[in-house]
Amino acid sequence: MAQTLSADFVVVGSGIIGALVARKLALAGASVLILEAGPHVTRGELVARFRNSPRRSDWMSPYPPAPWAPHPVYQPEDNGHLVHAGPYPYKAEYIRQVGGTSWHWAAHAWRNVPNDFRIHSLYGVGVDWPFGYDELEPYYQEAEEIMGVSGAPNTGSPRTKPFPMQPVAEPWAMQRLRERLAPVYPVVGNTTARNSRSYDGRPPCCGNNSCQPICPIDAQYHGGLAVDAALAAGAKLQANANVFKLEHDGAARITAVHYYDPDKVAHRVTGKTFIVAANGIESPRLLLLSQSAKFPQGLANSRDMVGRHLMDHPSTSLTFDADEDVWLGRGPQSPSSINTMRDGEFRARHAPYRLDFTNISRVDGATRALLAEGVYGAEFERRLRHSAAREMNVKNVLEVLPDPRHRITLSDQKDALGLPKPQTHYSIDDYTRAGHVRSQQDFKRIAELMGGTNLRFSKDGDFANN
C-alpha cells in the first residue's frame, strides 16, 4: 500500500454526475475526494488530437484509452475491452478520463416527458418510476442552471421556471427544414447545454461544428467543467486511480475502496460514504468485482439484479439529397428535432422516438464516398460541393424497455490490469423494432417534403447507439 487517502465522501468517477455530486457536497462543507480511473487531458490537447486524427468521424479518436484505464474503442481496431455476449452487439463508447464521456456529447440535455414515469400504468409496457416528473422538476432546473441549458418551450416537458438562456441561433438548414416541413411536422430547437450567450465564464457558441468530439471553446458544457467546479468548491481529485474493489465491514457497510495507479500499485482510500458514479457499464462492473466471502456475487447483488436492465436509445436513419443547397456544418452539430412521437397511445404498441436532424458537415463523409468510388479530376470537386450542400440526415432516437436479460456481467477475459472485462448481453426487442418501422414513414415523408432524392436508409437491422 503506497498511501492512504481519506474523505467524508469518496466519489468513484469524475463524469458530470460524480462531479456535480462532489461539488454539492463540498459546498455543504464536507470533505470530498473524487477518484478517476483515467488521466487529466486538456481541451487544447483534445482539439489538437482531433485535427491530427486520420479518423475525424470516429469521435473516440481523440480519446485513446490509457493503458491503466482501458475503455472500449472500435477503430482502427476493436481493442476488445467490452466483450459482446450477444445476441446483438452493444458497441458502447465511453471515456475514462477526468470529466468522463460528456467531453464528446452533443450537449443534449432533455428532460423526460411526464408520462415516461407511468408507462406501465398508461400503456401496459415497461415499469412505472417510483416517483413522478413533478418531484424531479426542481432538480432538472438546478442542473440546467449549472450547465447553461436552452431549448424550445413546446417539447412536451413542462417547466415552472424559464430556461437560463435563450436558444442558440437556428442554422439556415434547420430553418429550411422547419419551413418546408410545416405544418406536417413541427421542427423545434433541441434542449441543449450549449451557450447562446456568455454564461458562467464561458463564451457563446461560435459555430465551430465540432461539438462531437470536442467543443474547442467550452461553449458546450461537459464533465471537465463539472470537475473544475467541484475542485473550486473544495473537492479533491485523484486522477489515474482505477478503482477495482469496494471493501465492506462486518455490518456490510462500505469502508474503503481500492485502486490501482498506472504502475499497478494498489492504494486504499477510506471514507464515510461512497458514491459509485462510473457509468452504466463500469459501475455494475465495479460492484460485481467487489466480491467477498459475505457477498460472493458482488456488492448490492443479493437479488442478482446488478447490471441488469441495460438500456440505450438506439437509432436508425435516412440520408438524402435535398432539392436546394442547405450546407450542413454551419452552426452547432445537433440543433433541431421533431418531438411529436415522444408520447401517445401508440406507446402500447411500439417505441416512442424523437426525430433528430444532424447539422454535422457532410464534407468528410462525401469525400470518403467519392474516394471509394474512384472519382478524379474536376468532377470530384463538383460532386463534393453538391453533396456537402445538399445532403441531409434524419434519425430516430428510440426507446428501449427494461429487460432483465439485457445486462452487464464479468467476462472470463481479463484487461491489462488483470481485472475481468465487462461483458454485455443485449438485443433490440420487437417493441423497439416496431418503433423503427413506424419511423420509416416519417423518414420518407420528411425526404419528400424536402424534395429529397438519392434516399439512403441505414442498413436494415443495424441500430446505432447513442
Partner 1 sequence: MQYSRRSPPFALQRRHVLGGALATAAAALLPWTPVFPVEVDADQAFLALSILLTGRNNLDPALGRRLRQALQSGNDRLDQHTTDLLGLLETRKVPLPDLQAILATEKTAFAALPGQIMTAWYLGVVGKGPQAKVLAFEHALNAVAVSDKLKPPTYAYGAPGSWSHNPNA
Q: Helix crossing, 16-27 with 223-232: angle to 10°?
A: 20
297: Cβ contacts below 8 Å, ≥ 6 apart: 288, 291, 304, 306
Residue of the chain from 1, 54, 130, 412 that contacts partner 1 (CB under 8 A): 54
Binding residues among 187-246 for partner 1 as defined by CB under 8 A: 196-197, 204-210, 214, 216-217
CA atoms within 13 A on the CB side of 348: 5
Name which of 293, 279, 301, 329 is nearest 13 in CA terms: 279
Give the containing element (helix H, strand E) for 412.
Answer: strand 407-414
Residue of the chain from 76, 86, 344, 451 that contacts partner 1 (CB under 8 A): 76
Residue of the chain from 30, 83, 136, 169 that contacts partner 1 (CB under 8 A): 169
Residue of the chain from 33, 388, 419, 446 that contacts partner 1 (CB under 8 A): 388
Residue of the chain from 123, 129, 172, 457 that contacts partner 1 (CB under 8 A): 172
Q: Which is nearer to partner 1, 128 or 379 (CB)?
A: 379
Alpha carbon distances (Å) from 205 to 201, 214, 440: 13, 13, 33
Residue 164 interacts with partner 1 (CB under 8 A)?
A: no
Residue 271 interacts with partner 1 (CB under 8 A)?
A: no
Q: Report d(CA 91, CA 84) in Å as an integer.
A: 8
Three-class DSSP category at 338: strand
Which window, 52-60, 229-237, 315-323, 422-430, contacts partner 1 (CB under 8 A)?
52-60
Q: Which is nearer to partner 1, 388 or 400 (CB)?
A: 388
CB of 329 to partner 1, least distance (A): 5
Residue 414 interacts with partner 1 (CB under 8 A)?
A: no
The residue with cell 464533465 is 223
Binding residues among 311-350 for partner 1 as defined by CB under 8 A: 324-325, 327, 329-331
Could you say which DSSP state residue 217 is in? T
Residue 373 interacts with partner 1 (CB under 8 A)?
A: yes
Residue 369 interacts with partner 1 (CB under 8 A)?
A: no
Q: Which is nearer to partner 1, 304 or 379 (CB)?
A: 379
Q: Which is nearer to partner 1, 209 or 439 (CB)?
A: 209
Q: Report d(CA 396, CA 410) in Å as an integer.
A: 31
Classify strands 32-35 and 236-238 as parallel, antiparallel or unpaired.
Answer: parallel
Q: Which is nearer to partner 1, 140 or 163 (CB)?
A: 163
Total residues contacting partner 1 by CB under 8 A comes to 54
CA atoms within 13 A on the CB side of 44: 0
Q: Which is nearer to partner 1, 44 or 87 (CB)?
A: 44
Nine cell digits for residue 158: 413542462
Which window, 167-175, 306-314, 315-323, 397-405, contacts partner 1 (CB under 8 A)?
167-175
| Residue 12 β-bridge partners | 35, 276
Q: Which is nearer to partner 1, 210 or 424 (CB)?
A: 210
Residue 358 interacts with partner 1 (CB under 8 A)?
A: no
Alpha carbon distances (Å) from 346 to 33, 185, 352: 46, 17, 8
Q: Which is nearer to partner 1, 81 or 407 (CB)?
A: 81
Q: Which is nearer to partner 1, 63 or 353 (CB)?
A: 63
Q: Report d(CA 277, CA 11) in Å as an integer.
A: 7
Cα of first residue to Cα of last residue in the chain, in angstroms, is: 39
What sections of 16-118 are H helices per DSSP?
16-27, 43-51
CB of 61 to partner 1, least distance (A): 10
CB of 355 to partner 1, least distance (A): 21
CB of 328 to partner 1, least distance (A): 9
Residue 180 interacts with partner 1 (CB under 8 A)?
A: no
Residue of the chain from 276, 389, 392, 397 that contacts partner 1 (CB under 8 A): 389
Residue 64 interacts with partner 1 (CB under 8 A)?
A: no
Residue 79 interacts with partner 1 (CB under 8 A)?
A: no
CB of 192 to partner 1, least distance (A): 14
Residue 67 interacts with partner 1 (CB under 8 A)?
A: no
Give the containing element (helix H, strand E) for 447.
Answer: helix 430-449
Cis ω for the linkage preceding 76 (within 30 of 0): yes
Q: Report d(CA 28, CA 91) in Å as an integer.
A: 39
The residue with cell 488530437 is 49
Q: Report d(CA 250, CA 285) in Å as an integer.
A: 23
Residue 150 interacts with partner 1 (CB under 8 A)?
A: no
Name which of 69, 37, 119 is nearest 399 in CA terms: 119
Give the containing element (helix H, strand E) for 87.
Answer: strand 83-87
Which window, 4-12, 184-192, 340-348, 369-377, contacts partner 1 (CB under 8 A)?
369-377
Q: Report d(CA 441, CA 343) in Å as an integer.
A: 17
CB of 388 to partner 1, least distance (A): 5
Cis ω for the linkage preceding 114 (within 30 of 0): no
Residue of the chain from 36, 116, 144, 170 that contacts partner 1 (CB under 8 A): 170
The residues of the shown chain that bind partner 1, judged by CB under 8 A, are: 47, 50-56, 76-77, 168-172, 175, 196-197, 204-210, 214, 216-217, 324-325, 327, 329-331, 361, 363-364, 366-368, 370-371, 373-374, 376-381, 384-385, 388-389
